[in-house]
């Protein structure tokens, strides 16, 4: 069971997201994360779906997606062909003294940005590959993450998908 | 200036352009404007007695003709009543467009009177569906819907019509071909794949064609028959494929699967090359999947890529229209006469083995002089109608399986049955739809006493329009197929399957204004059938049949199909 990233171009129409979601739930496929946004062409949206399954399931998912009338293009992005990024926002209790400095130093190591530095809390933005985000979360967890919001992956093929 | 039309008028004009001659429907507040304009157009409207029946009738019409069936219903309960019909058509890939009324756009989402989110409800049981938000989009959407419904792998499409869209005004455009960015079904089978497949077929010692409903939908029965005969390859069909190959041909093995013939299931199990044409390896066909055609190279021809390698791993997939692929296969045969004739003459041993299986366990039953056996009724129907080219629909259960087993099918598009969904109550309205399309043909519904009560109200419709459908009830006093499972797998615990409070079907027929007939003795069967067929109007025949007769062979669910219970 590997993770797979599937990039889907869809017509930017009412109900398309729910068609995709109900395809996954109706056929018992997994969605680990799903992001949608308009592309440069306002009539087309792009979705990035992260899913798990063996090759057979992934083949079915791709074919079933293609079968939807509103789906224009489906590309399964393999490790080699993809650039995938995720963003996460983290809120910490501000802490004090050495601990706070250490936290800021680690955020810097992960090329994060401090969005808010208040008397009582600290909000940080991190962007990166899934592995990088997971690694950062492990290291930062001991500082006490109070709240977290993640975008899920967005991805592009290296040669671009048209 | 261009003439402005209402949404209702645009809809009816586009239907005319699409060649729609028949609508099955039921009115209500949300579609009242549409009904107001309906009589101004040539399209004939048939007023059913329940919206489910409108959809099944459109379905039966579509199966019998190949044209797209059309149904029209009101919002809310009218729309939700179509769900079973849509799901039935979706499972069996039947081209259909269903129009539902909807509350006015400003009220959508407000829990308005008779509002239902029918687009949400039917999303998983339609090929596609639409909510029309502006009257300006209506014409394009209807044209798209007809295109989607009857191209590629066909299926039902629903169009939800808010009342203000039907009542709104705009100019009608010229008919134009729909352009859909994300929908471009591939009809042409890959010639290289066809070549590879033919090389396998030529080499095969024990080849078999496994033929599904796709061959009927793709109007490819003739090409299939030609190929099978040229290469002398035996053919088994699924429930949906009955009629794709003439069953009176010695190469026919009849149906395969759970209630398939002994020879068909054995042939599958021992074949070395199996070619699936427009079939989808349904679990009722395959039984235990790893024992299905275990020694065969599998070639799969289907217009829908999602069907290929879904349930079994396929050695040579060919995506495309079966008619196109069969045409290319016949070309290969034409261009390789030596290989073809070597192939055709190389199956003697295989065909002998099949004949041996045929004689070992024929489909059989024992008819005594006391009780009518349901199989006997079906066999008699088949015999008496041999030259009439009848259309046979069924309900669901034992009646359906006996019809499939004991009727000799020789023509495509003459068999209407709910295969994928198994919808009780399908048969009568489907027969009604087919009879509308072919007023002069004999149309029969082979029914069970349980199923017929699920859409019995349509007797009023067939009487009103004088659609001379013959309903043949195999009345065993049970929900027989469920009872059979209870007998075999639940220790004869007949929980809730006895149907001893049924109406008197003869009186019921008369109450609706149809002819009612009854037979209780084997000696009366032929005469009763003849009387029914000779009657110019609709008839119900109540055959009191043996109560606890079972359908055999039977493969218990989940077993290998070679593991058949035979008696
Ligand atoms: C709408 C619907 N409900 C329930 C079933 C389950 N079911 C399958 S066969 C059957 C029995 C049908 O009885 P009857 O119409 O008398 O046919 P018989 O098997 O006796 O020929 C039932 C209840 C079904 N297929 N469809
Ligand atoms: Mg019964």
Within an 8 Å CB–CB cutoff, is residue A11 touching chain B?
yes
A97, pLDDT greater than 80: no
Tell me the shortest Cα–Cα distance from A69 to chain B, in angstroms: 5
Tell me the shortest Cα–Cα distance from A5 to chain B, in angstroms: 19
Instruction: Pick the closest to residue B2 from B169, B172, B134 (CA basis).
Output: B172
Q: Is the dihedral of CA A132, A138, A140, A141 positive or negative?
A: positive
* Option in B119, B183, B306 nearest A63 (CB): B306
Q: How confident is the model at residue B2 (pLDDT cuts 50, 70, 90)?
A: confident
Name chain A contacts of B133, Cβ cutoff 8 Å: 14
The protein residue whose alpha carbon is closest to atom 4 in ligand 1 is: B424
Q: How confident is the model at residue A2 (pLDDT cuts 50, 70, 90)?
A: confident
B332, pLDDT greater than 90: yes
Considering the entire predicted model, what is its pTM?
Answer: 0.95
Tell me the shortest Cα–Cα distance from B157 to chain A, in angstroms: 11
Q: Which of A82-96, B84-98, B144-158, B420-434 has the lowest mean pLDDT?
A: A82-96
Active-site residue, B51 included: yes
CA distance B453 to B501: 11
pLDDT at residue A95, rounded to an integer? 67
CA of B33 to the centre of ligand 1 (A): 39
Name chain B contacts of A66, Cβ cutoff 8 Å: 305
pLDDT at residue A161, rounded to an integer? 46
Q: Tell which A residues from 12 to 31 touch B, by Cβ distance under 8 Å.
A: 14-15, 18-19, 22, 26
Furthest-apart CA pair in chain B: how many Å? Answer: 78
- Judging by DSSP bridges, how do beta strands B169-171 and B4-6 pair with one another? antiparallel
A112, pLDDT greater than 60: yes
pLDDT digits over B510-539, tens only? Answer: 999 999 999 999 999 999 999 999 999 999
Q: How confident is the model at residue B347 (pLDDT cuts 50, 70, 90)?
A: very high
Q: Which of A91-100, B133-142, B386-395 has the lowest mean pLDDT?
A: A91-100
Active-site residue, B163 included: yes
Name chain B contacts of A11, Cβ cutoff 8 Å: 181-182
Within an 8 Å CB–CB cutoff, is residue B465 touching chain A?
no
CA distance A149 to B34: 50
From the candidates B198, B258, B481, B554, give the one annotated as an active-site residue: B481
pLDDT digits over B165-222, tens only? Answer: 999 999 999 888 999 999 999 899 999 999 999 999 999 999 999 999 999 999 999 9
Instruction: Pick the closest to residue B204 from B224, B233, B237, B228 (CA basis).
Output: B233
Within an 8 Å CB–CB cutoff, is residue B108 touching chain A?
no
Tell me the shortest Cα–Cα distance from B153 to chain A, in angstroms: 10
Name chain B contacts of A18, Cβ cutoff 8 Å: 120, 123
Q: Which of A75-84, B142-151, B524-533 has the lowest mean pLDDT?
A: A75-84
Q: Is the CB of B446 under 6 A from ligand 1?
A: no
Within an 8 Å CB–CB cutoff, is residue B310 touching chain A?
yes
B1, pLDDT greater than 70: no
Section B116-131 average pLDDT: 97
CA of B86 to the centre of ligand 1 (A): 19
CA distance B109 to B114: 11
CB-count burial class (<10 Å; 0-12, 13-18, 19+) for B146: buried
Provide the 3-class DSSP secondary structure of residue B325.
Answer: helix
pLDDT at residue A14, rounded to an integer? 86
pLDDT digits over B450-504, tens only? Answer: 999 999 999 999 999 999 999 999 999 999 999 999 999 999 999 999 998 999 9
Provide the 3-class DSSP secondary structure of residue B552.
Answer: coil
Alpha-helix residue ranges (DSSP H) falling in B24-110: 32-37, 51-65, 77-80, 83-91
B412, pLDDT greater than 90: yes
- Cβ of A15 within 8 Å of Cβ of B123? The answer is yes
CB-count burial class (<10 Å; 0-12, 13-18, 19+) for A125: middle
Instruction: Pick the closest to residue B150 from B127, B168, B134 (CA basis).
Output: B127
pLDDT digits over A21-44, tens only? Answer: 999 999 999 999 999 999 999 999
| Residue of B373, B378, B397, B398 best suited for mutating to test ligand 1, as the one with most atoms within 8 Å of CB | B397
A100, pLDDT greater than 90: no
């Amino acid at each position: 069971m590997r993770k797979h990233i599937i990039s889907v171009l869809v017509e930017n129409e009412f109900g398309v997201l729910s068609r995709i979601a109900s395809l996954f739930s109706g056929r018992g496929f997994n969605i680990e994360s799903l992001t949608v946004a308009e592309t440069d062409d306002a009539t087309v949206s792009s979705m990035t779906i992260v899913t798990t399954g063996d090759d057979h399931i992934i083949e079915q998912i791709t074919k079933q997606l293609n079968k939807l009338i509103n789906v224009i293009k489906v590309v399964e992005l393999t490790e080699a062909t993809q650039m995938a990024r995720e963003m996460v926002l983290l809120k910490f209790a501000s802490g004090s003294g050495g601990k706070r400095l250490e936290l800021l130093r680690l955020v810097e190591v992960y090329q994060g940005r401090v969005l808010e530095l208040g008397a009582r809390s600290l909000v940080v933005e991190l962007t990166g590959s899934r592995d990088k985000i997971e690694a950062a979360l492990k290291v930062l967890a001991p500082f006490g993450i109070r709240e977290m919001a993640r975008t899920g992956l967005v991805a592009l093929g290296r040669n671009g998908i048209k | 200036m261009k003439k402005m039309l209402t949404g209702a008028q645009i809809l009816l004009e586009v239907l005319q352009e699409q060649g729609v001659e028949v609508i099955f429907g039921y009115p209500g507040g949300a579609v009242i404007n549409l009904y107001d304009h309906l009589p101004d157009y040539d399209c004939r409207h048939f007023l059913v007695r329940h919206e489910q029946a409108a959809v099944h009738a459109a379905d039966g019409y579509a199966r019998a003709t190949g044209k797209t069936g059309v149904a029209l219903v009101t919002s809310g309960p009218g729309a939700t009543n179509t769900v079973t019909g849509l799901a039935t058509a979706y499972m069996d890939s039947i081209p259909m467009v269903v129009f539902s009324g909807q509350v006015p756009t400003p009220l959508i989402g407000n829990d308005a009177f008779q509002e239902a989110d029918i687009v949400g409800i039917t999303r998983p049981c339609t090929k596609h569906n639409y909510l029309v938000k502006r009257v300006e989009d209506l014409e394009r959407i209807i044209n798209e819907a007809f295109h989607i419904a009857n191209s590629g792998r066909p299926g039902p499409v629903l169009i939800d019509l808010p009342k203000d869209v039907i009542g709104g005004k705009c100019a009608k455009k010229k008919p134009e071909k729909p352009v859909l960015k994300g929908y471009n079904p591939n009809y042409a089978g890959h010639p290289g794949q066809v070549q590879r497949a033919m090389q396998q077929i030529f080499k095969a010692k024990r080849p078999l064609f496994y033929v599904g409903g796709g061959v009927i939908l793709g109007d490819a029965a003739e090409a299939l028959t030609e190929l099978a005969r040229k290469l002398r390859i035996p053919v088994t069909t699924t429930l949906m494929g009955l009629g794709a190959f003439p069953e009176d041909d010695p190469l026919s093995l009849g149906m395969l699967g759970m209630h398939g013939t002994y020879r068909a299931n054995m042939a599958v199990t021992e074949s070395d090359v199996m070619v699936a044409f427009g079939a989808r390896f349904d679990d009722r066909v395959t039984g235990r999947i790893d024992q299905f055609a275990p020694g065969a190279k599998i070639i799969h021809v289907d217009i829908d890529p999602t069907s290929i390698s879904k349930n079994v791993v396929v050695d040579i997939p060919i995506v495309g229209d079966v008619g196109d692929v069969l045409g290319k296969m016949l070309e290969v045969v034409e261009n390789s006469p030596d290989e073809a004739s070597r192939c055709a003459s190389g199956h003697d041993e295989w065909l002998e083995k099949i004949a041996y299986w045929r004689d070992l366990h024929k489909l059989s039953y024992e008819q005594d002089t006391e009780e009518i056996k349901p199989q006997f009724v079906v066999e008699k129907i088949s015999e008496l109608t041999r030259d009439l080219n009848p259309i046979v629909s069924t309900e669901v259960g034992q009646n359906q399986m006996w019809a499939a087993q004991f009727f000799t099918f020789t023509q495509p598009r003459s068999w209407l049955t709910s295969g994928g969904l198994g919808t009780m109550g399908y048969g009568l309205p489907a027969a009604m739809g087919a009879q509308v399309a072919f007023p002069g043909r004999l149309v029969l519904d082979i029914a069970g006493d349980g199923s017929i009560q699920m859409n019995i109200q349509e007797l009023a419709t067939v009487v009103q329009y004088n659609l001379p459908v013959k309903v043949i009830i195999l009345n065993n006093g049970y929900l027989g197929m469920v009872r059979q499972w209870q007998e075999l797998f639940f220790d004869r615990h007949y929980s809730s399957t006895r149907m001893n409070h049924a109406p008197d079907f003869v009186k019921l027929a008369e109450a609706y204004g149809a002819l009612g007939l009854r037979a209780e003795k084997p000696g009366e069967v032929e005469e009763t059938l003849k009387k029914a067929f000779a009657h110019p109007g609709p008839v119900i025949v109540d055959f009191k049949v043996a109560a606890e007769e079972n359908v055999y062979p039977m493969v218990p669910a989940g077993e290998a199909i070679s593991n058949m219970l035979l008696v």
